[in-house]
Chains A and B, each alone.
Chain A
């Protein structure tokens, strides 16, 4: 059943967006147990047109999340396992000479897909990484002077393993900034884990997922999110947050202007899928940790380094 969301900001449209988000949550929730906030963040990230970085240990369901998101949204899906011997051509594709026609023909790489799972991105060399990151930024691939547009929507979910850093190339801050959100998945709770153990193979269940929206509906939702009302009060709040990260002694590096923009965009998507006609401060707070967490560099020895820096910011800045 593909929902069709055309116009925006009307009561019915908001209601539909919220329903859709709920449907996405329930569908994926059947496969991934007890990760509703993360599922919603991932969905909001996609709606905001950004890319998602999942940082967690292997086996917590990163791939599953990516696959089920693609399945539920009716999008094509490819997985790229990053390795240290990977070349950019392995990602974007290459031109191959064809004997029959005596011409070069472009063979699209795995990146030509709606949802791309870049697994263990920190295992590849910076050269291969940058091929992916450029494609993420430009939404197109240029090879031999020819430009190939990537499908829309184009959504990259990259994963990296925070531990076992030996032989890896961690993404520098400048590259991290290109991900709209970074989330972790974490271990399931005791009860859920029991359920997980008793239940079917999660991978088998992927086939049961039904798409709840089509590409056109998704595009309409993204338009709706972009046109959500932003009050002056809210912008005051966002600026206060950004100002704090830049001025506070707790941080070496605050939020960039792009970070601030991303924060607003993510908050808009979050507001849309929660049925708010305008962005609430709570919407900003809900996405703040995911949007800002990987862009802030706490000063060594400060309290921010010890605990969750995003939370420190939120608790220090009054809501207007």
Chain B
């Protein structure tokens, strides 16, 4: 590291930047060379890239025009716009943005304005200072891209931008001539490596503000897929075609069987003959869950601990594993319907830790309400009749439900992602005509049949299963894992019945792909079968998840946790700031120490070492005449003792290098001292030779 800092060319370059008087005046006059502008152009292209698809095309066109104009001016001496034209363009640009976006702030309008100003400043690059401003705006645009895209995929672009930005700064500060690309890249690499520890310290310790800083509201709020507070036939089918990730789960300790993975979302209790809806918020949330609603974990029944990372979906369900015992969401609460709800819709990625037992039955806040028996008047009469008939034959409620499931299993019911359209009595239509449907059809029909037999029932929507990522051992739950099932009130408990499991047991045990091969989520038919591709996709997802978890999710809570693990109890913002200052100072002190080591050595030190060598040679070969230069003396010694020639010449050359060709660093001098220290004068090789005779 000391060596790196010591490199002479680096010192040269910083020197150029530092000199306040003459050098900066010199730099002020330096016009932009074509090479410098080419570097700038490259940087601008990388920085603006992520915005190109989002800002209006005329902004990009203006930027391209300005780049061509500026490059043309540098190469073919085109005239650049004068002061007044530039002022007019600036005004026009600002108005254009306001006119086009109806505002001047916000992500899109803001980045459009920034890019326009970048384009205009580019027309005004006559000095090092101008170029630095362009580069700084480009950095800003580059990091504004972070507001749009924060995934791992953006890292290469960001890294390229950082490297190019540094390169462009280096090249821009050289009035005399550009560095060769190799030189420039070496120097950039060194600068960035040296900046890395500071950047890391600042990332970890710079006081974090609570609240979404990066998470600007998603533009328009549309386009988000996910569960909602109602379900009609076809809704989940639609969802199942989406490959989007809904959330990821990492179990610490044992993970449940796939068939046990029921992620509980909205509880749909109101039925209007076709559509299922949740109860109004006031009804659901006015009723807190019982403290002992879940059966106490029996010995041998594992409690699963997990961390769940939800993608933003503008909904409030936190989707715990059924049945939740504990959750660490401060603003989350469990409603009487056993829905775990956050206070606000999830407008950014969110992670929480929870514990659950995987049971399909639990007590609710209170006995079922009339709404759980509602059949929506005389809707679906044939289904109701069928239910009454079946119930008459059954010995008990449980036996009845078993019979219904057996009916689904043994008669000609099909599980499909392409269900035929249903008429005005959808459940009747489904049970007696089409007999083909997706999970919501079965859940809906089962709930209706249960209600018709006098049993309180409701539909629960959520996700079932998920794909385990073997690369990093976590589960990915996609929209295609969306699912609906039924709960029936029996013996003072809500019991989960999943009729889909009766029709397509593979769906529950192995997921949608197994149940409907070639139909579900097959977005990449060509590559879908390739094991290698699958593995790559999983690795990529694992990388993204790690990035989210350790980098993007790093907020005030994680920061506090880190400081607490370092022994600072419940750190305040002040403590964080202090820790940050201390660490950054420490890094700088270490740098300074290295810098001292690579700083100039005591001038006489090199000579002392040389004298030591001369004394040693004087004893065994011949003394150095005072007027002999090092190279002359080495040549003379080599004449007398050809066997020592190469070594002594090398040492003399080293001495000349340290003493006469540069300002040596402490480290250089130490190395020279070691070289001289390890130099031994062996006895003359052959007694008969000239050298031997002289001795």
Contacts and interface: CB of A to CB of B under 8 A. Distances in A.
Interface of A: 6-7, 229, 231-234, 276-282, 285, 314-320
Given A233-B660, A320-B607, 12 more contacts: A7-B176, A229-B660, A231-B663, A233-B607, A233-B659, A278-B656, A280-B660, A282-B629, A282-B632, A314-B627, A317-B627, A319-B626
A29 to B, nearest CB: 23
Contacts of B663: 231
Interface in B24-79: none
B626 A280 contact: no
Interface of B: 176-177, 603, 607, 626-632, 656-657, 659-663
Contact of A316 (B627, B631, B659, B661): B627
Nearest to A8: B176
Contacts of B659: 231, 233
Contacts of B656: 276, 278, 280
A206 to B, nearest CB: 35
B632 to A, nearest CB: 6
B660 A318 contact: no
Nearest to A229: B661
Given A232-B603, A234-B660, A282 B631 contact: yes
Most chain B beta carbons < 10 A, residue from A233, A234, A280: A280
Given A7-B177, A320-B607, A285 B629 contact: yes
Contact of B629 (A231, A316, A319): A319
Contact of B630 (A229, A232, A281): A281
Given A232-B603, A233-B603, A320-B607, A281 B629 contact: yes
A319 B660 contact: no
A232 B603 CA distance: 9
Query: Which of B628, B632, B660 has the most A CB atoms < 10 Å from its CB?
Result: B660
22 contacts: A6-B177, A7-B177, A229-B661, A231-B660, A233-B603, A233-B607, A233-B659, A234-B660, A277-B662, A278-B660, A278-B661, A280-B629, A280-B631, A281-B629, A281-B660, A282-B629, A282-B630, A282-B632, A285-B632, A317-B627, A318-B626, A319-B626
Contacts of B662: 229, 277-278
A281 B660 CA distance: 8
Contacts of A315: 627
Nearest to A228: B661
Given A6-B177, A232-B603, A276 B629 contact: no
Contacts of A278: 656-657, 660-662
A233 B629 CA distance: 12
A229 B176 CA distance: 18
A22 B665 CA distance: 33
Contacts of A280: 629-631, 656, 660
A73 B627 CA distance: 35
Contacts of B626: 318-319
Contacts of A316: 627
A285 B631 CA distance: 11
B628 A319 contact: yes
B668 to A, nearest CB: 14
- Give the top 3 A-B pairs by smallest Cβ distance, nearest first: A278-B661, A318-B626, A281-B629
Given A6-B177, A233-B603, A277 B629 contact: no
B23 to A, nearest CB: 15
A22 to B, nearest CB: 18
A281 B607 CA distance: 14
Given A229-B661, A233-B660, A319 B631 contact: no
Nearest to A237: B629
A140 to B, nearest CB: 27
A122 to B, nearest CB: 34
Given A6-B177, A233-B603, A280-B656, A319 B661 contact: no
A232 B660 CA distance: 8
B625 to A, nearest CB: 8
Contacts of A317: 627
A231 B627 contact: no
A234 B306 CA distance: 72
Nearest to B631: A282
Nearest to B664: A231
B225 to A, nearest CB: 59
A314 B628 CA distance: 9
A171 B631 CA distance: 37
Contacts of A319: 626-630
A234 B662 CA distance: 12
Contacts of B607: 233, 320
Contacts of A318: 626-627
A105 to B, nearest CB: 35
A320 B662 CA distance: 16
Nearest to B656: A280
Nearest to A278: B661
Contacts of A277: 657, 661-662
Nearest to A12: B180
Nearest to A317: B627
A43 to B, nearest CB: 20
Contacts of B657: 277-278
A278 B627 CA distance: 19
A225 to B, nearest CB: 14
A131 to B, nearest CB: 38
A7 B177 CA distance: 8
A91 to B, nearest CB: 38
A281 B657 CA distance: 12
A14 to B, nearest CB: 10
Contacts of B176: 7
Nearest to B624: A319
A277 B663 CA distance: 12
Contacts of A279: 660
A277 B629 CA distance: 17
A279 B660 CA distance: 6
| Interface-centre pick from B177, B629, B659 (highest chain A CB count, 10 A) | B629
A231 B661 contact: yes
B184 to A, nearest CB: 13
A181 to B, nearest CB: 20
Contacts of B628: 319
A282 B661 CA distance: 13
Nearest to A315: B627
A279 B630 CA distance: 13
Which of B603, B627, B632 counts the most A-chain CB atoms under 10 A from its CB?
B627
A89 to B, nearest CB: 42
A261 B460 CA distance: 95
A264 B657 CA distance: 18
A263 to B, nearest CB: 15
A232 B657 CA distance: 13
B65 to A, nearest CB: 34
B488 to A, nearest CB: 84
Contacts of B177: 6-7
A81 to B, nearest CB: 41
Nearest to B626: A318
Contacts of B603: 232-233
A314 B627 CA distance: 7
Nearest to A7: B177
A280 B661 CA distance: 8
Contacts of B632: 282, 285
A233 B663 CA distance: 11
B630 A276 contact: no
A135 to B, nearest CB: 31
Nearest to B12: A9
A25 B632 CA distance: 22
The CB with the most chain A CB atoms within 10 A, among B177, B607, B626, is that of B626
A317 B629 CA distance: 11
A229 B662 CA distance: 7
A21 to B, nearest CB: 17
A234 B603 CA distance: 12
Contacts of B661: 229, 231, 276-278
A278 B655 CA distance: 12
Contacts of A281: 629-630, 660
A224 to B, nearest CB: 13
